[in-house]
Amino acid sequence: MAQYIPFAPDVEVNGETILSFVQAIPAYSNIMLDILKFHGINQPKPGQWYSQESWLNAFKEIGEKYGANTLFAIGKAIPDNAQFPPDIDNLEKALSSIDIAYHMNHQGGEIGYYHLIDFQSEYRFAKMECKNPYPSNFDKGIITAIARKFKPDTAIVVQVELDENYPSRLNGSESCTYKVSW
């Protein structure tokens, strides 16, 4: 499956996660709310559940109207409001926790996964596979925000880039693979 196509028809996403979408770029929050409303999500609230398909349709419109950088910015905002497991205290645990958080914030069917497939602290390198229906640049934003938040104290810069040696949702694949370095 490519971007914006749910893996299962009855999947839902919680209001906290959708509110991260709205609050990602404060100057555009009303635009985001209007787009969500157009796609059937009216005034999302914490503790409520909403159709993933509707949310993906809103994502698609945002991507088409405002571009990849906006999707990246929305992804970076997700960790601010989405639920994450407690006791995350280093980069390896944090990157591994993305999948746990992803499942905590969705319900109702197959949603895919985020998988830390390689972590080498001595080489300051990690690799993440993201198999889900969300836009590629959104995933890059999530991984970037988590990596920046939990990078080792000795790291100055974190870089996240699509690994072009693997298939990509940008080309119709089911997953994207990212290289993380610090």
> Domain 1-182 falls in which CATH fold?
H-NOX domain (3.90.1520)
Position 80 scores a pLDDT of 76
Name 125's bridge partners: 120, 181
The token pair at 143 is 């991984």
Position 117 scores a pLDDT of 98
> What residue ranges of the chain have pLDDT lower than 70?
1, 81-84
CA distance 1 to 21: 22
CA distance 84 to 146: 11
Name 162's bridge partners: 178
Position 87 scores a pLDDT of 86
Position 82 scores a pLDDT of 63
* CA distances (Å), origin 137, targets 63, 101, 108, 109, 166: 9, 18, 25, 23, 16
Position 83 scores a pLDDT of 63
CB distance 174 to 107 below 8 Å:
no
Position 2 scores a pLDDT of 76
